Amino acid sequence: MGEQTEFKPGDQAPNDGVYIEVGENDFHMHINNPKRIKMRAGGRFPETTNHNRIWKRFKR
């Protein structure tokens, strides 16, 4: 079993870092200007702009 990579609003951040809002069909239909947030470990994720979106760790 691996580390969780997708998070819903209200979930706790497992690590410090930048997280980005992604959609359910992000591979095919990109989100224009997605929200990016800087989180500390243990912090709660805020609401997304759409109920079908989730938070994912942003890798540079």
Which pLDDT does position 25 carry in this prediction?
62
- Cα 11 to Cα 20, 27, 30, 33: the distances in Å are 14, 23, 24, 23
Overall average pLDDT of the 39-54 stretch: 93
Token pair listed for 22: 């992604």
pTM of this structure: 0.81
Residue 1 to residues 4, 12, 19, 56, Cα–Cα distance (Å): 9, 19, 22, 18
Q: Position of tokens 């959609």?
A: 23
Regarding predicted confidence, which is higher, 42 or 49? 42
Of 11-15, 28-32, 39-43, least confident by mean pLDDT is: 28-32
Greater model confidence, 33 or 12 = 12
Q: Inform me whether the pLDDT recorded for 31 exceeds 90.
A: no
- Residues 42/14, Cβ–Cβ less than 8 Å: no
